[in-house]
Structure 1
Amino acid sequence: MAVWAVRVALAVQFGVGGAGKLAGSDQMVRMFDDIGAGHWLRVLVGVLEVAGAVGLLVPRLAGPAAAGLVGLMIGAVVTNVGILGSSPIAPLAFGVLAAVVAYARRQQLVVLGRSVRR
């Protein structure tokens, strides 16, 4: 039950965050301007966040979605510290919560890994 609550909370967070990036909110546009990689990165991150949010809510996809979001949050932590000079606490916390979900759904990742190797 606790993992389900974490999945829903993360889905809301990533859904709202991704939608803001895709909608081009002023705050997101400024942040990605500061990163300096271009707005294609804002759109890509927004799409990945929304896809991850949807995946967290689909039981069959929750493990792979959470694992993908862990990777995305690793990139966010590195970007916050190395480029933006801002606190990595929020993406670190979301990454840890996504890792908890990925671990709870690790059997899905094992099955996915086996099917990819074939």
Structure 2
Amino acid sequence: MCMTTLNRKANIALWVLQVLMAAAFLMAAATKFTNYPPAVEGFDHIGFGRWFMYLIGAFELAGAIGLLIPRLSGLAALGLVLLLIGAVITQLLLFAPVTALTPAAYLIPIAIIAWSRRQRTSRFLRLARY
């Protein structure tokens, strides 16, 4: 198999992963914007209030949309990596440690996307400077 075919297949697989993760983060954002009771209870437990829940929902929504835009996909994934690291730490410190498994599981594919799209992120940031 030639390298271009391998690169093409890897790119297709990465796009499939991005679409799946975008759908997951879209659903996660929806739980915040629809005041889904477990989401409300979780954020009330943290003590920051509903404004923080909506802010996190907005970040999740922006990340989901960004994953679907080629030029922004790497940057969106990088932002979601930071969001998920915060979620893992929050779950470990304020909830039962087992609850950190969900954001940790999401962190793996999002980190793969961020790493794989790092050249796009670098190009975008260079263009954004001018």
User: Where does residue 120 of structure 2 map in the other structure?
Assistant: 108
Q: What stretches of structure 2 of length at least 5 have no aligned partner? A: 1-11
| Amino acid aligned to 2:105 | A
Residue 59 of structure 2 corresponds to which residue in structure 1? Answer: 48
Report SS of the residue matched to 2:57. Answer: helix
Judge conservation of contact 1:69–1:98 (CA < 8 Å) in 2: yes
Rounded to whole Å, the distance in 2 between the matches of 1:32 and 1:84 is 11
User: Number of residues paired by the alignment?
Assistant: 118
Report the Cα distance in structure 1 between the residues aligned to 2:70 and 2:88, rounded to whole angstroms. 27
For structure 1, the residue ranges without an aligned partner over 5 or more in a row are none
CA distance in 2, matches of 1:77, 1:112: 28
SS at match of 1:59: coil
Determine which of 5, 15, 21 is the counterpart of 1:4.
15
**Which of structure 1's runs of 4+ aligned residues deviate more than 4 A?**
115-118
| 1:24 alignment partner, SS class | coil
Among candidates 97, 104, 111, match of residue 99 of structure 1 = 111
C-alpha RMSD over aligned residues:
1.4
Write the distance in 1 (CA, Å) between the matches of 2:116 and 2:79: 14
Alpha-carbon distance in 2 for matches of 1:18, 1:116: 27
Shift of 1:115: 4.2
Higher gyration radius (CA): 2
TM-score w.r.t. structure 1 length? Answer: 0.92
Native 8 Å contact 1:21 1:28 kept in 2: yes
Counterpart pick for 2:94 among 77, 83, 95: 83
Asked whether the equivalents of residues 35 and 84 of structure 1 are also in contact (C-alpha less than 8 Å), the reply is no
Distance 1:41 1:47 in 2: 10
TM-score, L = length of structure 2: 0.84
CA contact (8 A) 2:63 2:76 kept: yes
How far residue 114 of structure 1 moved from its aligned partner, in angstroms, is 2.9
In 2, Cα distance between equivalents of 1:113 and 1:47? 22
